[in-house]
Every structure is written in structure tokens, then in C-alpha cells.
């Protein structure tokens, strides 16, 4: 199925600026200049990825060049600095993550992944998560001493580190990290806020965000990680219809992952969207 030429992608691409961005990268300011679209570059990329856009598509290629220029210091993202984190560390993480989502051949983004690989490996080196080791590695790698002015730690059970490190860690460390993610009470920050080991109500918007987290984790090719996600396959098959299809209901329309088709006024299109998405997840986890 091809959603790249549908109305959702068309609306997003019409708002892309000449430099390849959509204005602000991560968060919309209350003082958004009139020339900036009412969405962030990150929101646009998130949606375009769901609709099937890749690095081979000119709009994405253009954006990745822009992100690389931001990452390498040629230009700055226009976002207002956030006080909760060390802004330089956080910006590097965000930019590198989105570059590596579309291409793993960018040197600057890969260097960021190496840093986070070092930190996560130190945190799990003894077979379990050690917070003191995490803090020590974080301070060493980024050359900062954590204090209120430097900003707090970035939570590593978070969309950015998890995406950034896909198939980058040592397999043993990766399996430990994966197990920790699934048991984390806060879910996956920026994607889903409940424990991933607990499946949600199937026909719900919450389930759509849950599947977004599972889709991200399914990119890890470690067989031990795949084994840890077989309960999701079981849950999905339990919610399959007698026609071997899935319907997550109208509530699953979250504006990010759904809809894929131009409209859900027709129930058939909603069922086709849900089935298309879930079939991809099941196939990924069973291979």
C-alpha cells in the first residue's frame, strides 16, 4: 500500500520551508514567527516516516542535509533553549536520532551513537542497570558535572536513545537494555507512558501509541530481543478477526500513526490501515 501520495503527506510537504525544515525543530514557541508552519520539523518527519517516506525521497533528503548542518554547527535550530537538560547534549541527541532513523551513513550522527553506546554499556555492564555507573559514564562522555545549571540526566528509556542505538549495542548489553525498557514503569518517554510489559485495551488511541513503541523496538534484530516481544504477537493475534484482519476502532486515530488512508469515514479503509500496520509488526517480530 502506498500512502506517500495521499492528502496527509501533501499537506505536510506544502509546509516545508526552503531550507528543508518546518521551522522549529522540537517544540513550537508561543512566539512562533508567521513564516513558520504550525508544526515542528520533528512532527513532520515523524508523520512522513509513518506514511512511508525514506532517505530516497527528496523532501527527506533535503531535511537530513539541514539536520546535518545543525548537528555540525553550520547553523542553529531556532528553538528556544530548554532549561531541564544540558541543551547541547539534548540537541545533539535529537538531531542525531532523526538523521540515523533515515540513514546510518552519517558520520556526525554515528559519533553521537558511539557516545550513547559507551554510556548504556557502562550502565549495564554488570548484568543489571547501575545508576551510579550511568551517571559516571554520562559525565565522562559529555565532559560535564551534573548540577542544576548543567541540566539533569536525559532518561535513556526514551525515544531518542532507543532509536539512536538500534542495532548498535553489543548483543548482550542490548538484551539487558531491552529487558529494562519493557519493565520500565514510565514506559517509553515521548511515545507511550505506561509499562510496555502490560498490553493496553486494543481498540483505543493508547494502543496506537503502544504499537508505536513496539514498532521502534521491533527494529532491533537481536533474537533475544525478539523473544522478549513474543507476548505482543500473542496479544495481537488474540485481537485478530475471523477474517484475519484487525480493527483498532475509530479511537485509534491519533494523527501520527493513523490514519494512513485519506479518510476513515469508510470503515473498510480503517480496517485496511490497521491490518497493514499490524501485519508489518507481526512479520518483523516473527522473523
Quote the pLDDT of residue 153: 78
pLDDT of residue 144: 87
Checking if the pLDDT of 228 tops 80, the result is: yes
154 band by pLDDT with thresholds 50, 70 and 90: confident
Q: How far is CA 228 from CA 47, 221, 233, in A?
A: 27, 12, 10
Out of 91-105, 131-145, 146-160, pick the least confident. 146-160
Q: pLDDT at position 33, please? A: 55
Per-residue pLDDT averaged across 85-107, rounded?
95
Q: How far is CA 23 from the centre of its chain?
A: 20
Whether the model pTM is above 0.85: yes
Average pLDDT of every residue of the chain: 93
Pair 139, 145: CB distance under 8 Å? yes
Cβ atoms of 277 and 257 within 8 Å: the answer is yes
Amino acid at each position: 500500500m502506498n500512502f506517500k501520495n495521499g492528502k496527509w503527506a501533501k499537506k505536510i510537504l506544502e509546509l516545508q520551508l526552503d531550507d528543508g525544515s518546518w521551522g522549529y525543530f522540537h517544540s513550537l514557541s508561543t512566539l512562533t514567527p508567521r513564516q513558520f508552519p504550525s508544526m515542528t520539523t520533528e512532527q513532520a518527519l515523524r508523520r512522513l516516516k509513518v506514511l512511508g517516506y525514506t532517505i530516497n525521497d527528496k523532501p527527506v533528503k533535503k531535511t537530513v542535509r539541514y539536520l546535518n548542518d545543525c548537528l555540525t554547527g553550520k547553523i542553529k535550530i531556532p528553538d528556544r533553549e530548554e532549561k531541564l537538560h544540558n541543551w547541547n547534549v539534548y540537541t545533539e541527541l535529537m538531531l542525531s536520532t532523526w538523521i540515523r532513523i533515515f540513514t546510518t551513513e552519517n558520520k556526525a550522527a554515528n559519533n553521537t551513537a558511539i557516545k550513547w553506546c559507551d554510556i548504556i554499556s557502562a550502565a549495564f555492564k554488570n548484568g543489571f542497570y547501575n545508576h551510579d555507573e550511568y551517571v559516571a559514564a554520562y559525565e565522562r562522555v559529555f565532559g560535564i558535572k551534573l548540577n542544576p545549571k548543567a541540566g539533569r540526566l536525559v532518561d535513556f528509556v526514551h525515544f531518542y536513545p532507543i532509536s539512536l542505538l538500534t542495532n548498535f549495542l553489543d548483543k548482550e548489553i542490548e538484551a539487558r537494555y531491552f529487558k529494562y525498557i519493557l519493565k520500565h514503569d514510565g514506559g517509553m518517554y515521548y511515545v507511550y507512558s505506561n509499562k510496555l510489559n502490560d498490553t493496553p485495551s486494543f481498540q483505543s488511541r493508547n494502543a496506537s501509541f503502544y504499537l508505536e513503541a513496539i514498532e521502534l523496538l521491533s527494529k532491533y534484530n537481536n533474537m533475544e530481543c525478539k523473544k522478549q516481544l513474543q507476548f505482543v504477537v500473542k496479544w495481537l493475534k488474540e485481537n485478530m478477526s475471523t477474517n484475519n484482519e484487525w480493527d483498532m476502532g475509530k479511537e485509534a486515530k491519533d494523527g501520527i500513526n493513523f490514519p494512513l488512508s485519506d479518510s476513515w469515514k469508510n470503515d473498510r479503509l480503517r480496517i485496511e490501515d490497521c491490518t497493514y500496520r499490524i501485519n508489518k509488526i507481526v512479520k518483523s517480530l516473527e522473523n
